[in-house]
Amino acid sequence: MKRSFLKTWAAAALAAGFMSWGHAQVDPAVAALKPKDFPTQPIEYTVVYPAGGGMDVTARLLAKHAEKASGEKILVNNRTGGAGMVGHAWLATQAKPDGYAVGVLANLVWGDAMLRAQGKWQLSDLEAIGYLNSDPLIWITQSDGPLKGKSLKEIIQLAKDKPSTIRVAIVPGSMWEYLVEQIESAYGAKFLRVPFQGGGPGVNAMLGGNVDIAQAFYAEFRGQLEAGKVTPVAVAAGERVPHIKDVPTFNETLGSSELVWNVIRFAVVPKGVPADRKAYLGAMVRAAMKDPELLAEYRKAGVFFDPKLMNSNRIAEDLNQYADRELAFYKKTGRVK
């Protein structure tokens, strides 16, 4: 009698969307899409940059709330190397299309596919399943370092007067490098570019006195900012961002309109994942992105939400439009013929 009651209760709870992993309530819309044979093991969210950076923070927060929405177990794994290229290539060419590998990526993958993959893989080898957030690149200096109190214009003037003496952290072949390139080309400055695999390592190097300028996202230096150790100089956004509203944009400081470099974060699966599994994984992401707790956590990290992508019913197609814009930059600068 007791066993029969438990079976009946479990079936009713699943139908109502109350079966859970831990204490989290499963979203009924997600439960309705759950395939009969999937998953039977933890799902892996792959991050292609080191632990502690903006992408890593984004993925771990997403995993937490996707678990809450679905009742599944999700692991986050950092597959690093080649400034993201190792992880991107693994997802596109080696990860099994069985639904257990999900990439939590940024638009930096576009540059890898268009410039560095050498035809071994392309963007169409990855299928977007959900948008997460957007985040502007920010220049910061040590509050008590050699550039203490200097504005963006003053820093650029120093880079003109004393070429290759101001050290700036970059991630090669990405927006970190492209922003520096644009400034050098437009204003006659010359920086010494020091390569790193992500924004977080660049911040640590700057705090250790190994570079003078770090380029990072807000989550990667928020703690140091609150401790008074770093000073934001300029934001590569179309307009000022609310969480550091006193920091000017590159464009307003330099009278430009082209110095905009935002990271766009989204989730993907390898091409060929069965449709029912892809739909389920996408539903998990969408449900997590409706959770006020997750949105609040992301806002604390200094991100913003692109209305077009946030409300998209064709996320892959809409992201491709942004990728086309980046391709236009590569063509303009001669990177792609």
pLDDT, one tens digit for every residue, the chain (337 residues): 444 433 443 343 333 333 434 445 899 999 999 999 999 999 999 999 999 888 999 999 999 999 999 999 999 999 999 889 999 999 999 999 999 999 999 998 998 999 999 999 999 999 999 999 988 999 999 999 999 999 999 999 999 999 999 999 999 888 899 999 999 999 999 999 999 988 889 999 999 999 999 999 898 899 999 999 999 999 998 888 888 999 999 999 999 988 989 889 999 999 999 999 999 999 999 999 999 999 999 988 778 888 889 999 999 999 998 898 888 889 988 998 8
Please give the DSSP secondary-structure letter assigned to residue 82: G
Local structure of 139: helix, strand or coil: strand
Q: Of 69, 57, 83, 207, whose CA–CA distance to 135 is shortest? A: 57
Cα 233 to chain centroid distance, Å, stands at 21
Name the pTM for this structure: 0.74
User: Going from the N-terminus, what domains does the chain have, and what CATH number goes with each?
Assistant: 23-136+263-332 (3.40.190.150), 139-254 (3.40.190.10)
